[in-house]
Each structure stands twice: as C-alpha cells, then as structure tokens.
C-alpha cells in the first residue's frame, strides 16, 4: 500500500449519498445508538455545501456520483489542503480516509491507485 500524499483532494470535494442531508445527519446524531458513528457536529459545522460543478472541478471523478448526491467541502483544511486535526481528536467520519469509506478518489490519487 502506498502512503497517502495528503493532497487533501478527498476532503476538498466530499460526495454523500443523496439521502444523507445535513438534516438527516442531525436526526441520526440524536439517536443514542447511531450517535457514536455519525459525527453530526462535524458534518454540520465543518462541512460546507458546494455545487456539483465545483465538486467536479476539484475531482473529475465526482461526475460519476449518482444523481442527487450532496457535495461538501471541509472547512477545516488549511491553506495547503491539510487537515490540522489528528490522532484521537480526528472525528470518526474522517478517521478512515483515505483507507475506508465511500471515497471517490481524485484521478491523480497515488494512494487509491496503489490500493485498488
């Protein structure tokens, strides 16, 4: 497996399933059984909705996401597209990237090419 280059492209354009809106995430975050896995505060406070066109301009593979996909960008990325949150403080929803989750890899992502 190739180590992630930390380019930030997977967090600059995030595509969530059409049913996963911010209001749905908020409802799930209030459910005691789902709350540990949802990180509703992160999605609702750290992620900003972006247009499909913006998501595709960041990551052309986003064009293949299903109709109705909700696109976001992470507001926590620094000027170099790096996440400043690491270790035990990293939210559950973010902790698996780029190794786990529904990642739509950037076409130039060396990490994904090496693991597929």
Q: Are 26 and 44 in contact (CB under 8 A)?
A: yes
Query: Which SS3 state, helix, strand or coil, does residue 47 take?
Result: strand
Q: Are 74 and 49 in contact (CB under 8 A)?
A: no
38-95: pLDDT as tens digits:
666 677 788 888 999 999 998 888 898 888 888 889 888 888 888 888 777 777 777 7
**Single pTM value for the model:** 0.72
What pLDDT was estimated at residue 1? Answer: 47
Q: How far is CA 13 from CA 32, 36, 92, 102, in A?
A: 29, 24, 18, 12
Q: Are 61 and 89 in contact (CB under 8 A)?
A: no
**What does the alpha-carbon distance between residue 8 and residue 82 come to, in Å, rounded to a whole number?**
6
What pLDDT was estimated at residue 44? Answer: 74
Using the predicted structure, report yes or no on whether residue 99 has a pLDDT greater than 60: no
What pLDDT was estimated at residue 115? Answer: 47
Helix, strand, coil abundance in the chain, percent, nearest 5: 40, 10, 50
What pLDDT was estimated at residue 16? Answer: 80
> How far is C-alpha 89 from the chain's CA centre?
16
105 confidence band (pLDDT: 50, 70, 90): low
């Amino acid at each position: 497996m190739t180590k992630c280059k930390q380019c930030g492209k997977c967090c600059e354009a995030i595509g969530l399933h059409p049913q996963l809106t911010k209001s749905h995430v908020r409802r799930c975050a209030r459910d005691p059984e789902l709350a540990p896995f949802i990180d509703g505060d992160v999605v609702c406070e750290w992620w900003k909705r972006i247009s499909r066109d913006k998501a595709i301009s960041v990551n052309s593979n986003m064009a293949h996401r299903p109709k109705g996909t909700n696109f976001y960008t992470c507001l926590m990325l620094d000027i170099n597209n790096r996440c400043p949150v690491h270790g035990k403080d990293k939210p559950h929803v973010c902790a698996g990237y780029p190794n786990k989750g529904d990642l739509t890899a950037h076409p130039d992502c060396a990490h994904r090419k090496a693991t597929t």
